[in-house]
Structure 1
Amino acid sequence: MGFHTFDSDRADALEDAARRYRYCSREELHALVAPNPEMRLADIGSGTGFYTDDLAPHVGTAYAVDIQAAMHDRYREKGVPDGVELVEAAAADLPFDADELDTVVSTMTFHEFADPAALAEVARVLRPGGRLVTVDWDRAGAGEAGPPREETYGLGDAVSLQTDAGFTVEHAASRPETFVCVARLDD
């Protein structure tokens, strides 16, 4: 599967709350992540920080990780909240120590980076028992929104990638356009 990144020239679309929350609301994200003041969290593929902003006030440290410097530039223009650190990196080469993070989140970006190397890297930086929370476009979805379906994963493929990387899937579900998967790194 060839990976693409979201066109930074269209970054304003990432701030469209009505559209974004249609597929993953703030409340759903909070229920999946269960943020707490001690949590060290990385949002991989953070873009302009739309979902990072929802989590940052409720965690100890939030890292907004994106491979595109232009996305961080847009985030700076919008205003980066206290407690958020911008990290320019690919998911397969994260600049965190082993076991440094409690949670990694990917909202609508898993299809942009997920492969065995990237999932192994996510597993490396998560502490034992740490969680990977994924909401992404489902290849089995109706195709009315999101990227072309051939650029996405089905839920089963996403689950397989995560279990192969040492995660135990605690919750996985398909919805009309997206899937959600919550996985815990094996101890």
Structure 2
Amino acid sequence: MPVQLFEGKDHAAAYLQYRVAPRELISRIMSYMEKGTPNQFKLAVDVGCGSGQGTILLAPYFTKVVGTDISLAQLEMALTQSNPPNISYRQSLAEELPFASGEVDLVTAMTAAHWFDRQKFLLEADRVLRPGGCLALLSYTMDMELEYGDVSDTLSDICKEFYTLLLPYRDPHIGSSSLKIYSDMFESCSYPDKEWNECLRVKRTLPLNGYIGMVQTFTPFQKLLQKDPAEAERLSDDMRNKLLSAMKASSPDADVTVVLKFFYWLARKP
């Protein structure tokens, strides 16, 4: 059964503000597509598009890009962006896409497929993809690292403490490892032309508060926030203060480099 989350407007707004758009992976997806049928890219569908950061990245490559999501709050936030004219958004289940069979050149899900009914989604993606069309699924692990001067290891250790404290609030639908979910989906995909990539390190320079804000968008933190707002605030403040102390910085606006570990897989329909 699909999971419906990210419905709150505040959460959707934070998602738009803090989540990282995976632009490095878009070029890899397009290179993979071009090996099969170059210059035949009419329609891309970004499933579980959220607030549209990844959807927009597809616009230069396709005649039309449609972002779909179950969450109306997320779609409303996506519409607040400066979307190119070939981008549109539709509310739909990942397992019931509003497209004709064989109509789509690319189906992608960016940090979203772990919430789907996975086998039903794979069947639906196969239905809407044209022969030679591609499926691209990507996400990243929660164990992000921070780089700052000569205290990078110390900062990353502080982050690990924070992630460990959030683990009890991880959604049972995901289990202990989202990477394993994607690996299992890859194994169950019957397409002979497919590739698995376990770690692509993506770096972004953000204010420290931007990193904290990103972690606060994660579902475990949101669950803690719902259960015990005071504890969620205390935990965030404690993490921020420990990081600032290690950095010897006075302001949470100080820039740090965040290292995200993306994994992804690509497959081409015969």
TM-score for both structures, normalised by structure 1: 0.79
Structure 2: stretches of 5+ with no match in the other structure: 34-38, 145-159, 200-259
Question: Secondary structure, in 3 states, of the residue corresponding to 2:83?
Answer: coil
Root mean square deviation, CA, Å: 3.0
The aligned length equals 180
1:79-125, Cα deviation, whole Å (9 max, x unpaired)? 43201121111011111000000101111001111421111011100
Letter in 1 for 2:182: A
Determine if contact 1:103/1:130 at 8 Å carries over to the other structure. Answer: yes
Determine if contact 1:123/1:165 at 8 Å carries over to the other structure. Answer: no
Pick closer, same or farther for the CA change 1:130–1:163 going to 2, 3 Å. farther
Question: What is the CA-CA distance between 1:11 and the residue it aligns to?
Answer: 1.6
Matches within 5 A, 1:24-173: 24=22, 26-34=23-31, 38-138=41-141, 142=143, 148=170, 150=172, 151=174, 154-155=178-179, 157-168=181-192, 170-173=194-197
* 119-128 or 168-177: bigger deviation: 168-177
Letter in 2 for 1:3: V
Question: What is the CA-CA distance between 1:168 and the residue it aligns to?
Answer: 3.4
Determine if contact 1:41/1:101 at 8 Å carries over to the other structure. Answer: yes
The whole-number CA distance in structure 2 between the counterparts of 1:155 and 1:128 is 28
Pick closer, same or farther for the CA change 1:51–1:73 going to 2, 3 Å. same
Pick closer, same or farther for the CA change 1:6–1:37 going to 2, 3 Å. farther
The whole-number CA distance in structure 2 between the counterparts of 1:100 and 1:184 is 15
1:184 maps to 268
Pick closer, same or farther for the CA change 1:77–1:121 going to 2, 3 Å. same
* 124-133 or 78-87: bigger deviation: 78-87
Determine if contact 2:55/2:67 at 8 Å carries over to the other structure. Answer: yes
Structure 1: stretches of 5+ with no match in the other structure: none
2:234 maps to none
Larger radius of gyration: 2
The whole-number CA distance in structure 2 between the counterparts of 1:79 and 1:154 is 31
Letter in 2 for 1:148: R
1:32-65, Cα deviation, whole Å (9 max, x unpaired)? 2347573310000111111111111321110111
The whole-number CA distance in structure 2 between the counterparts of 1:132 and 1:181 is 8
User: Relative contact order (C-alpha < 8 Å, sep 6+): which is higher?
Assistant: 2
Question: Secondary structure, in 3 states, of the residue corresponding to 2:265?
Answer: strand
TM-score for both structures, normalised by structure 2: 0.57
Question: Secondary structure, in 3 states, of the residue corresponding to 1:77?
Answer: coil
Question: Secondary structure, in 3 states, of the residue corresponding to 1:106?
Answer: strand
